[in-house]
């Protein structure tokens, strides 16, 4: 836990369209391949071109396709969300238990996992090697390689239990009732937080 406190990691983040929330809270977060196999994706906000690259990328640690992992971010306010800013009011950002980083077979990266220059790590002590100032920066356009770095990831194979979801951030009160309904019977907190959006 010292590593999490040292680097101020309160949550790991996953963004998704509001229509997927109820299914995620019921089934947990599944890898891209598994979610599609089970027909659980109501709406996909990912970039098809990026997904084509990820579909053909294998991690260097366990030799698995990236699509066999659940991807999380250290910073939710990143280029992926920026590309979808026109629909960000309909995107929820899940804050997950950062202790996932201590579990076996977890991978984290110093940038977008699909980028050829990205480095992959499996030991939580290697969090020290990540460029935290760049990952946490509000802007990436004036940082060398900032676009890649801001999308540093945590990859979880092959799913994440619903109990690891701690909070659901949203852009406004627009989907307040949807979130309340989706999280019924759980301890998940719903919270408007414009700071993690554009």
DSSP class per residue in 1-56: -HHHHHTT---EEEEEEGGGHHHHHHH-EE-HHHHHHTT--S---S-HHHHHHHHT
Is residue 32 scored above 70 in pLDDT? yes
3-state secondary structure of 151: coil
Is residue 65 scored above 80 in pLDDT? yes
pLDDT of residue 39: 83
3-state secondary structure of 170: strand
Mean pLDDT of 79-95: 97
pLDDT of residue 1: 58
pLDDT of residue 43: 78
Q: State which H helix or E strand residue 153 sits in.
A: strand 153-156
Is residue 132 scored above 90 in pLDDT? yes
pLDDT of residue 47: 80
The answer to whether 107 and 62 have CB atoms below 8 angstroms apart is yes
Indicate the average pLDDT of the chain.
95
Place of tokens 């970039």: 47
Is residue 22 scored above 80 in pLDDT? yes
Distance CA 156, CA 122 (A): 11
pLDDT of residue 50: 82
pLDDT of residue 44: 85
Whats the size of the chain, residue-wise? 198
The string of pLDDT tens digits covering residues 137-196 is: 999 999 999 999 999 999 999 999 999 999 999 999 999 999 999 998 899 999 999 999
Distance CA 163, CA 34 (A): 19
The string of pLDDT tens digits covering residues 43-61 is: 788 888 888 889 899 999 9
């Amino acid at each position: 836990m010292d590593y999490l406190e040292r680097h101020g990691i309160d949550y790991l983040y996953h963004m998704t369209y509001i229509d997927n929330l109820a299914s995620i809270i019921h089934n947990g977060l599944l890898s891209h391949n598994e979610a599609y196999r089970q027909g659980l994706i109501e709406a996909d906000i990912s970039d098809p071109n990026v997904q084509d690259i990820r579909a053909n990328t294998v991690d260097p640690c366990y030799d698995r396709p990236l699509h066999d992992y659940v991807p999380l971010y250290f910073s939710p306010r990143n280029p992926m969300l920026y590309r979808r800013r026109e629909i960000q009011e309909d995107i929820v950002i899940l804050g997950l238990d950062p202790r996932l980083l201590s579990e076996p077979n977890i991978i984290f990266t110093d940038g977008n996992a699909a980028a050829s220059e990205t480095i992959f790590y499996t030991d939580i002590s290697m969090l020290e090697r990540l460029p935290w100032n760049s990952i946490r920066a509000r802007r990436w356009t004036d940082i060398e390689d900032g676009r890649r770095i801001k999308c540093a990831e945590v990859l979880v194979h092959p799913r994440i239990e619903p109990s690891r979801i701690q909070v659901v951030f949203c852009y406004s009160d627009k989907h307040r009732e949807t979130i309340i309904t989706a999280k019924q019977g759980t301890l998940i907190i719903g919270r408007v937080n414009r700071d993690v959006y554009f």
